Structure 1
């Protein structure tokens, strides 16, 4: 579950990153439409909330919140470092994380 929480956090940060004008224009070479901005921010916040839920589901609120902050730190640093050099690849990795996280979760939730 910690891996799935990390994937959700990275995907959430990637969506929030794409919700910014500068990063969206770097990837797509056009201005960010306002409807995409709202959608990306909602998806990003939802993915981060799901990451918190996954961390606290396994470890409880006391240790799960601490683990979640560590996961956020690691995912955020990875995205920051990677988006500086390869913005398209960093954000594609976010999409891959968003697709892989449910595949990891399905066996553990049943």
Structure 2
């Protein structure tokens, strides 16, 4: 895996994971769907998907950069993914999904 592939995959996984965790919250779920209440199953699925996507991001970082640098790179990609997710969920919630 090249550095560019690892970087793009890590950013995409971090963004998707943070967006899933954001939509697991009732406020953002309401922005997305228009429903006033969020079913427990949807909340559970979104939280689980978000956690699995962030774990996959960690795996990509460990494979791409090794153990010591991979953990630090993962934290950086989490920050960038959260920043991207925050911008898009706040401005265009339907496009962010």
Deviation at 1:68, TM superposition (A): 0.8
Structure richer in helix, relative to its length: 1
Tell me how many residue pairs correspond in the alignment. 91
- Unaligned stretches of 5+ in structure 2? 1-5
Task: Using structure 2 for the length normalisation, give the TM-score.
Answer: 0.88
Query: In 2, Cα distance between the equivalents of 1:82 and 1:35?
Result: 24
SS in 2 for 1:32: coil
Does 1:76 pair with 2:82? Answer: yes
| TM-score normalized by the length of structure 1 | 0.79
Aligned structure 1 segments of 4 or more residues deviating by more than 6 angstroms: none
Aligned to 2:94: 88
Q: Which runs of 5+ in 1 are unaligned?
A: 92-110
Residue by residue over 1:49-95, the C-alpha shift from the partner in whole angstroms, topping out at 9 and shown as x without a partner, is 0000100111111000111111111111111122222111122xxxx
Matched, 1:10 2:10: no
Distance in 2 of aligned mates of 1:63 and 1:23: 33
Q: Give the distance between the partners of 1:17 and 1:23, measured in 2 at CA.
A: 6
